[in-house]
Amino acid sequence: MVLRQSFLIILAFFGMVLCGLVYLNTNQNSCKPEIIEKVITKEIRKPENFALRSSPGLVYNQPSALVSRTDVAPVTSWLAPIIWEGTFDPTLIDSIFKQQNLTIATTVFALGKYTRFLKDFLESAEEHYFVGFRVHYYLFTDKPEEVPEVKMSENHSLTVRKVPSMNRWQDISMGRMEILEKLIKDELASEADYIFCLDVDTKFHGRWSVESLGRLVGVIHPWFFDAPRNQFTYERRPESQAYIPAEEGDYYFTGAAFGGSLEDVHHLTKTCWEQMNIDIANSIEAIWHEESHLNKYFLYNKPSKLLSPEYLWRDINAGAGQIKVVRFTHVAKNNAEVRPNK
């Protein structure tokens, strides 16, 4: 009796082993090769600041966990860095990003009389903007014959695109979002890693480089960096797609400079253009046009990095205790004279 029970137990054990082997073989054979290949070859998106490797032997100042600027906020409440002079080491950060072989696309629009600002913009950019990195400027203008000859530095290039003239400066301002969306979608995917969109009536005075790179980047407006949110000139009419309620708002961002990764800026420009079209269909125009829609977007799609007003200051001679370096400013101009409509 005992012998018979032992035999049955051994038989059951070998039966279980045999079933397991059959099950494994069946599953291996049913796993199609193309599915395995897809898993292995699936593209992995490169994370922001991928491979932050410092070069051996590089000499730079020791960072401190205790000492930093105390007169400005270096980080937002959602833990995005705010870039001020004294919050980064240019030697170290340049060394890190040069290993990534990046290309920065940069768009600028110069229509009508705004072509007069091109020479200062391009010449000052070549002196201060992403020096030592690969930059491709895309200039959109209705007067390509008025584009000045400016010598490009090594790894910097300029492409001029002709666009139709417009009768209203508001349409020029808002139309940029559509052009930017199409440029990123149709051309830049294989040509650039990041993009910045900058106003032409500006001039560089100091370094603007890889410290500004991030997934989604906004520049804090120089007139509102120290103002409470109830003073922000958001769009306050609920009828507009750019509407922001009085009790909401983080920062007020300028529409004269923004950027980020191609994917994120494409989503930004596409969304803003769609929202502006809804407003147009409802016969409404946001108070500050595309800047109003940009602020609405940034409120609910938080920037991953913010640039301080150093990156678009009021005027080279305007003072503020927090501004240690003026990197980029609007230039003085007579709006009534340069704009196509008053």
Q: Which residues sit in the known binding site for UDP-N-acetyl-alpha-D-galactosamine?
A: 114, 199-201
Check: CB of residue 189 under 8 Å from CB of residue 262.
yes
| CA 197 – CA 132 distance, rounded (Å) | 20
Return binding residues. Answer: 114, 199-201, 221, 233, 291
Return binding residues for Mn(2+). Answer: 199, 201
Task: State yes or no: is 291 an active-site residue.
Answer: yes
Q: Looking at 126, 181, 211, 291, which residue is catalytic? A: 291
Check: CB of residue 273 under 8 Å from CB of residue 294.
no
| CA 267 – CA 256 distance, rounded (Å) | 18
| CA 39 – CA 95 distance, rounded (Å) | 34
The phi and psi torsions of 110 (rounded to 5 degrees) equal -135, 90
Residue 5 tokens read as 């029970």
| CA 342 – CA 335 distance, rounded (Å) | 8
Residues contacting 139, CB < 8 A, separation 6+: 107, 108, 109, 110, 118, 147, 158, 159, 160, 161
| CA 88 – CA 303 distance, rounded (Å) | 19
Burial tier of 336 (Cβ tally within 10 Å: 0-12, 13-18, 19+): exposed
Crossing angle of helices 290-300 and 262-281, rounded to 10°: 120
Q: Which residues have a catalytic role annotated?
A: 291
